[in-house]
Structure 1
Amino acid sequence: MAGGSLAPTGLAKERAEQYKGRVTAFVIIACIVAAVGGALFGYDIGISGGVTSMDGFLEKFFPVVYRQKGHAHENNYCKYNNQGLASFTSSLYLAGLVSSIVASTITRKYGRRGSIICGGLSFMIGATLDASAVNLPMLILGRIMLGVGIGFGNQAVPLYLSEMAPTHLRGGLNMMFQLATTLGIFTANMINYGTEKLRPWGWRLSLGLAAVPAILMTIGGIFLPETPNSLIERGLKEKGTKGS
């Protein structure tokens, strides 16, 4: 009985060692892409709070709020109680909610890389539109595109990490996405602190800087391989088995 019980245990340990992946250059690149995806999510969440309090931004797109801000000193609600301003802020979250539903289908049918690339392109378009906005519709459209990028990125990046990370590093690498999100929020606030002094165009720099990590995310999505799980799920069993 003792010998019979030890044999399977020894075999299990041997097989576990076989599947214990190494930290390779590919794993490091995957981590960077994941960090960029999380940082973009955090950055776009954090950047709007500072931008919507900048005088140059309010004077151009929300003159009523700008005037209220100058007269109301005690109640912040009176300063920023404006439907247009609320639309600018909330459009990102609404677009992220809707696009995440679409992104789940694309991620399943066309692969994780496809969704990462779509997310990166949406981020770039949104950042470009917002940084160069000349009117409110253009500004909100850019914000919607950023929301689409969030929907795709949040759907694909953690899934890609889970499927590609070595088993003994999977939990840590997935936590890296969450850490990058909080660092993105922190970075957005620090950037707003600096760009607020660049009047009246500092807000354009704050919104436009989201394009830099978006480019890295898109490039990463292009060059990283597809996950074996995704290949097998899409009927490419031989290719997926070879990749695993």
Structure 2
Amino acid sequence: MSSSKSFNSSYIIGISFISALGGYLFGFDFAVISGALPFLRTQFALTPVWEGFLTGSLALGCIVGCLLAGNIADKYGRKPGLIIAALIFAVSSIGIAFSASLTYFLILRFAAGIGVGMASMLCPMYIAEVSPAEVRGRNVAINQLTVVIGILITNLVNYFLANHGADSWRWMFGLGAVPSAIFLIGVTWLPESPRWLMKSGQPDKARVILNKIGSPDFAESTFKAVEKSLMGSTKQSYAMVFEKAVRPAVVVGITLAVFQQFCGINVVFNYTSTIFESVGANLNRQLFETVAIGVVNLVFTLLAMWQVDKLGRRPLMLWGALGLSVLYIILAFLLQNHFPAGLVSIFVLLAISTYAISLAPVTWVLISEIFPNKIRGVASSVAIVSLWLAYFILVFTFPILAKILGAYGPFYLYAGICFAGFLFVKTKVKETKGQTLEELEDNLIRH
């Protein structure tokens, strides 16, 4: 293991932040729907089923994006995949702004999802592969930080645009072209992942980048560890993901990915207006709540970044799952009995803060860490495809469940899922902090 003084912190943080701009765009596309929905319901006369499908159409694109990214990342490298994701973001943002019909809107929202799916897989993977073990958790969490900043800024912009008439939603989506262009320019400066370069038979280029990341000792020890982990490596295929030796890691990765969505918090992010409308809040109050959610989300994500390499992944996941379970029961009770919006807001924000310091960043950190070098690309794509499929199911079903059960009903269900997630983490998830990716791989093989 490298000493904490043996690597170039400013360089690593710099390239991590540039890569993590993909997370900002992920946050934008994820949050923009919350402010736009009240307008889109009128514009396209949405039923609960179509509202759910319109919100979830992003996730269907994400699934395609993950599958594409897995193949592009393994064949051509991490960097070309990030460039393609940036281009898709830019084109789809402008296209959605000019949508004339629901069909056209859905096709372009699906296309935006392809960009989100690619970024959601490639950004954490890239950061994990260029980061030394001691700071890997914090650096991968930078991606979650930019997601959260994207959500907050988008919610603020939505709030200020809301009074500009029925076509406000067009500006909400169209402004996504600006961060897309910044991301595209930034990605052209990134080095390729040294681990990918070694895997694709370019060890000299890998050495050059490792020497930029850290001292000669750090570069040499990392080079040898990666070389050893790649011995006997063959071309990646999805069949390799289900081999007996790696199956435990894959099961944990998929389950954590699905749990991060089925825990229910993205219902709060995407349907803030529906939840607060059920307790009598007007449109201005509904959009204000999205901003409050964004601020709390940012503050507690910063706390998570500070603590993920100190407290460790496992304690944060356990605390988050149990905390959400309790908070949802209280929130469901308040909604069911039409308590004032102010009181509902307190428990919504407590749930957001709990998620932001635990399940939100730590799930992405674990998915970027637990798979062996040989199959990291395809295994990550399988886990993240599972995550986006779960997200689609969650946001598609909420308007339908809310119509049948009331806005409060689904939260009792999410409370039960969170408790089941707590038990899974307690029995199946091992701590990964402070270990190199190669050490984690050795431990997996031994067990």
Shorter-normalised TM range: 0.7 to 0.9
Task: Give the C-alpha shift of residue 178 in structure 1.
Answer: 1.5
Name the amino acid aligned to 2:166: P
* Aligned equivalent of 2:56, options 75, 90, 107: 90
**How do 1:135-214 and structure 2 match up within 5 A?**
135-214=101-180
Give 1:40's aligned residue: 25
User: What RMSD in Å do the two structures reach over aligned CA positions?
Assistant: 2.1
Query: Could you tell me how far apart the structure 2 residues matched to 1:116 and 1:173 are?
Result: 17
Aligned counterparts, 1:1-244, within 5 A: 16-17=2-3, 20-24=6-10, 26-54=11-39, 57-60=40-43, 62=44, 64-65=45-46, 80-83=47-50, 85-244=51-210
- Contact 2:13/2:139, CA 8 A, preserved across alignment: no
| Residue pair 2:4, 2:134 contacting (<8 A) in 1 also | no
User: Contact (CA 8 Å) 2:20, 2:123: kept in 1 or not?
Assistant: no
Letter in 1 for 2:169: W
Between the two structures, name the one with larger relative contact order (CA 8 Å, sep ≥ 6).
Answer: 1
On the 8 A contact 1:129/1:141 being kept in 2, the answer is no
Deviation beyond 3 Å, 4+ runs, structure 1: 57-60
- Secondary structure, counterpart of 1:197 in structure 2: coil
- CA gap of 1:18–1:207, structure 2 versus 1, over 3 A, is closer
Displacement of 1:113 after TM fit?
0.4
Cα distance in 1 for residues equivalent to 2:110 and 2:171 = 18
1:32 offset after TM fit, Å?
Answer: 2.5
User: CA separation in 2, counterparts of 1:104 and 1:38?
Assistant: 17
Alpha-carbon distance between aligned partners in 1 of 2:13 and 2:4, rounded to the nearest angstrom: 20
The percent identity for this pair of structures is 28
Mean alpha-carbon deviation: is it higher for 224-233 or for 163-172?
163-172
1:168-204 Cα distance to aligned partner (Å, 9 max, x none):
3221111111122223222222221111111132111
Shift of 1:129: 0.6
CA distance in 2, matches of 1:19, 1:237: 24
Equivalents in 1 of 2:48, 2:183: separation in Å?
36
Q: Partners of 1:89 and 1:111 in 2: how far apart?
A: 31
Describe the shift of the 1:92–1:128 C-alpha distance in structure 2 as closer, same or farther (beyond 3 A): same
Residue 92 (structure 1) shift: 0.5
Q: Does structure 2 conserve the Cα–Cα contact (< 8 Å) formed by 1:20 and 1:166?
A: no
Tell me how far apart the structure 2 counterparts of residues 82 and 169 of structure 1 sit (CA, whole Å). Answer: 44
Distance in 1, matches of 2:42 and 2:140, equals 41
What's the counterpart of residue 3 of structure 1?
none
Partner SS for 2:9: coil
**What is the distance in 2 between the residues matched to 1:191 and 1:32?**
22
Structure 1 unpaired stretches of 5+: 1-11, 66-79
1:223 is paired with a residue whose SS is coil
Q: Using the alignment, how far apart are the partners of 2:68 and 2:48 within structure 1?
A: 32
Deviation at 1:159, TM superposition (A): 1.1
Q: Whole-Å Cα distance in 1 between the matches of residues 4 and 14 of structure 2?
A: 23
Match of 2:432 in 1: none
Structure 2 letter corresponding to 1:183: I
Larger-gyration structure (1/2): 1
Q: Which residue of 2 aligns with 1:7?
A: none
Shift of 1:219: 1.5
* In structure 2, C-alpha distance between the alignment counterparts of 1:99 and 1:86, rounded to whole Å: 20
Structure 2 CA distance for aligned equivalents of residues 222 and 209 of structure 1: 22
Supply the distance in 2 between the matched residues of 1:118 and 1:19 (Cα, whole angstroms): 35
Alpha-carbon separation, structure 2, partners of 1:204 and 1:28: 35
Deviation for aligned residue 1:58:
4.0
* Inter-partner Cα distance in structure 2 for 1:29 and 1:17: 20
Task: Give how far 1:59 is off.
Answer: 4.1
TM superposition score normalised by structure 2: 0.44
**1:226 positional shift:** 0.6
CA distance in 2, matches of 1:230, 1:176: 21
TM-score, normalising length: structure 1: 0.78
